[in-house]
Structures are given as structure tokens and as C-alpha cells.
Amino acid sequence: MSEVLLDIKNLKTSFRIKDDYYAAVDNVSLIVKKNEVLAIVGESGSGKSAFAFSIMGLHTRAKIEGEINYKGNNLVQASPNQMKKLRGNEMGMIFQDALSALNPLMVVGAQIDEAIFLHNPKSSKSLRKKQVINLLNQVGIPRPEKTYDQYPHELSGGMRQRIVIAMAISNQPELLIADEPTTALDVTIQSQILDLIKELKETIHAGIILITHDLGVVAEMADRVAVMYAGQIVEIADVYTLMENPQHPYTRSLLNSIPTLNDVKEDLHVIEGVVPSLQNLPRTGCRFASRIPWIKDSVHEASPELHEISSGHYVRCTCYKDFYFPEQAEEECNYVAN
């Protein structure tokens, strides 16, 4: 059993809308171990990015409750100064959009240099330059000396994302949060970046939180997966269990709605309705109930909890036991009729 790096308990991040607080992240508890990739999956609006920002302390106006225990310190209570020391040093973040994450007026080498300098003000300039070149090498940039003096706009999307990764790992972070690191990239570049993150994991032994909506990326990268819906974790399990034996209706619907390369030309599963907005979210009962209206109300719990159904596999609400797809029901009816 490897060491626990991050232990989050009942994290609740609320935003103020018209004099009222609404929780975008609602009672999320999970742990991240050293040297593992935890993927967080969900649609837009499920609170996955709000969750990542809470860990990094990047929310300015949100109300954050609960505990984020990082190596024995509760980050929720940490002062802005303490957070500043952690961010970019022990905790690195890779953002989705590399172009807006980089300063357009600074050469990329200087930006990475800055990240190192801020946390080691005593290091010498020449040493830092060497470090930056090493980092650029590490993230697979072909001519690091030349790239050092280039501006972000001179680089391609994949290269920019590599720079952002180099910045994130510049101080050997122990926790790396990647928020949709490949969503803006082409498939070939995506596979390169994912392979790079995988290789980096082997060398820096960091715990990685990978936020994505792409289940293919999850299958390629993750050790464990947490599925988020409307601010809550609805299912959490190791990647094999989750992909092969998903239980929660939302997880099953998601897996059914992506076209795979093997079964072609069949209709995809459609999840009815939309993710409710923060203000319209039902605060009691199963939050997914409105999207599976063919399931009887009686099978949902009044206040759904996460249940451990096998070792390390948690599912929220009891509705998973009675869940079926409407298509399935039709087939069964036909079968009986024949």
C-alpha cells in the first residue's frame, strides 16, 4: 500500500449567487496516493474543475468547507502565503488551454525560469538556465536551446502544452493536477502528451489528478477513477472495475454513449435531459433520478450515500441495483413475446 498524499474529507465548495450559496462541489471525500493517477470524469458543469481549483487554492470568492489534508496540513485553513509556497512547488497544475496559461510577452524559457526562481530565490542564474534546458529536454522538446528564447505564439499547440507541463514539474511536485490537459489538442499530439505524463509519473513519482471528460483517456491513463455528477462523486473504483463492471446508472450511461471502434453503426445511448444548473439542483434525493425517469422513485435513497459494494468500489444511491436501459427492457419484452 503506497503512501497517502492527499486526503480530502467532505469538501464543499460553494459559490454565491444572488445572496445564497450553492455548492458546486458537494461533500467530496477521496484520497490520492503517491505514484498513482486518479482520474476524475464528468460532463461540463459536474464540478470537476471547481474541485481541482479548490485543492490548489485558486478560488477567490468561493466558500470552501471541509478538509484538504496534504501531508498532515489542512489546506483549507492555510494562509494565502502558505498556499503560495505550495503552489508551483509541491503542487503543480497543467491547464487545459496552454495559450492562455502562458504569458504572451515573455519567452518560454524565462517563464519556466521564473517558476524555479520564485521557489529558490538563491539559485544562480546559470544553474537555473541549465535546469530549464533539462526540463525542456525532459518534456521532449527537440531543440531546447532554441525554444528557450521563443515566444508562446511561435510554438505549436502541442509544444505549448509541453512548456506548461515543464513549468508544472519544474520543482518536482509531489502532486500534479492536470485539468483536461489534452482536450484542445489533436489525437496524435494528445497521445504524445499522455505518454509524456505517463513517463513523467515514472520519474517524479508524483500523485496525479487527471481531470477529463474523455473515457478513452481514462482507460489509457488512470489507476483509479472517480465519476462526478452534479458536484458529487457517484462512483469510485479502480479503472478495471469501473470500465468492466460499472454500477452507477450515470457511469453506465456515459460508457454507453461513446462510439467505440469495435461496434459500429448502432445507435448510441442518449442520456435524457441535461445536467441541472447549480441553482436548480435538487439538494435532497438522488441527483441523477431526473435523468432516468423510467426508474421507479422507490428504488432511490432519500439521502443517497456512497456504499462500498466491493473492496475500493463505492457507488452512490441504491438505484444502481434496479437500473436498466430502456432499450434493454424493449429487447426483453420482444424476447418474451416471441
Partner 1 sequence: MSLIKVENLKVHFPVRGGVFQTVKDHVRAVDGVSFSIEQGQTYGLVGESGSGKTTTGRAIIGLNDITSGKVMFEGKDLSSVSKKEYIDVRKDIQMIFQDPFSSLNPKKRVADIVAEPLRNYENLSPKEERIRIQELMELVGLSPEAIYKYPHEFSGGQRQRIGIARAIALNPKLIIADEPVSALDVSVQAQVLNFMREIQKELNLTYLFISHDLGIIRHMCDHIGIMYKGRYVEEGTSEEIFTNPQHIYTKRLIAAIPDSNPRNREMHYENRKLVKSEYDKLEKDFFDEKGLPFSLKSISATHQVALPERG
- List residues binding partner 1 (CB under 8 A): 43-44, 157, 186-191, 194-195, 198, 213-220, 222, 239-240, 243, 253-254, 257-261, 264-265, 267-271, 274-275
- Residues of the chain by 3-state class (helix, strand, coil), percent to 5: 40, 25, 35
Would you say 66 or 140 has its CB closer to partner 1?
Answer: 140
* Rounded CA separation 330/235 (Å): 27
For the CB of residue 324, give the shortest distance to partner 1 in the complex, in Å: 18
Spatial CB neighbours of 3, under 8 Å, sequence gap ≥ 6: 33, 34
What is d(CA 199, CA 203) in angstroms, rounded to the nearest whole number? 7
For residues 103 and 163, the answer to whether their CB atoms sit within 8 Å is no
Q: How far is the CB of 225 from partner 1 (least distance, A)?
A: 9
Of 74, 162, 170, 89, the closest CA to residue 129 belongs to 170
- Minimum gap (Å) between residue 255 Cβ and partner 1: 8
Closest to partner 1 by CB, 195 vs 308, is 195
Element (H, E) at 336: helix 326-337
Give the nearest distance from C-beta 64 to partner 1 in angstroms: 26
- Direct distance between the N- and C-terminal alpha carbons of the chain, in angstroms, rounded to an integer: 53
Helix 157-168 vs helix 187-204: angle between axes, to the nearest 10 degrees? Answer: 20
- Angle between helix 125-138 and 157-168 (nearest 10): 130
Decide whether 183 or 318 has the Cβ nearer to partner 1. Answer: 183
Query: Closest separation between CB of residue 221 and partner 1, Å?
Result: 8
Least CB distance to partner 1 at residue 260 (A): 6
Find residue 226's DSSP bridge partners: 40, 236
For partner 1, the closer of residues 64 and 239 by Cβ is 239
Cell matching residue 158? 502541442
Q: List the strands of the sheet with 20-33, edge to edge.
A: 20-33, 4-17, 63-70, 73-74
Q: Which is nearer to partner 1, 128 or 224 (CB)?
A: 224
- Looking at the Cβ atoms of 115 and 164, the one nearer to partner 1 is 164
Nearer to partner 1, 90 or 214 (CB): 214
> Would you say 170 or 253 has its CB closer to partner 1?
253
Contacts of 260 (CB under 8 A, 6+ apart): none
At closest approach, how far in Å is the CB of 313 from partner 1? 15
For residue 274, the minimal CB distance to partner 1 (Å) is: 5
* Cα 47 from Cα 164, distance rounded (Å): 23
